[in-house]
Amino acid sequence: MNEKSKSESAEEAETHGMPRVSWSAENELTDRIIGAAIEVHRHLGPGLLEAVYEECLCYELSQMGLRFNRQVHLPINYKGIKFESAYKMDLVVEDAIVIEIKAIEELLPVHAAQLLTYLKSSNKRVGLLLNFNVPILKSGLKRIVNHYAGPQPTARVSASSALEPGEQETPNLSSSPRLRVSVSKNDPASNREPASKRRPD
């Protein structure tokens, strides 16, 4: 392999300034995690608490020799304030795959959104949503991909604080049709009849 292709490979492996596991390695890793989850579900079946499934899944992952962290705190920045324990990810396997474990009647779009938020906030690319409260685990499994796995966008300032010092924000009420109607309704001068329709006194 020549020097140019080596540097291109290294550049591809690090996207948006963060080290990347290759897609094939991520796919192999998710396959192994799914296999472990199926093993847990095969032995326990549905109807237990999330914590039980998490404990057993961790056992299976450790038997496979996979590294993982449990209940990983994920900070969030809100208006310049960092909240350290805003989220808790159930499992992060090999510092690459985020796993969210559920034991609920059915997966809803909000659960996929929750995992996608975890992926975006942690700059991870792939996550698995595992719902163990189903007859067949395949129907409770969802793979979520974060298509933008890069650094968190910087906090934006509010519109009024973005003005140059000394500038004042002056709203243009006539630019919006809704506001124009609202302003004319609240303006006593606009409530008078036009002069052509008034009766002479």
pLDDT score recorded for residue 55: 98
pLDDT score recorded for residue 76: 85
When pLDDT is cut at 50, 70 and 90, the band that residue 2 belongs to is: very low
Question: Which of 62 and 3 is assigned the larger pLDDT?
Answer: 62
Number of Cβ within 10 Å of residue 148's Cβ equals: 11
State pTM to two decimals.
0.64
Per-residue model confidence as pLDDT tens digits over 5-37:
443 333 333 333 344 568 888 999 999 999 999
Q: Is 190 helix (H, G, I), strand (E, B) or coil?
A: helix
d(CA 82, CA 32): 35
What's the mean pLDDT in 52-61?
Answer: 98
The domain ranges of the chain are 11-145, 160-191
Tokens of 39: 């093993």
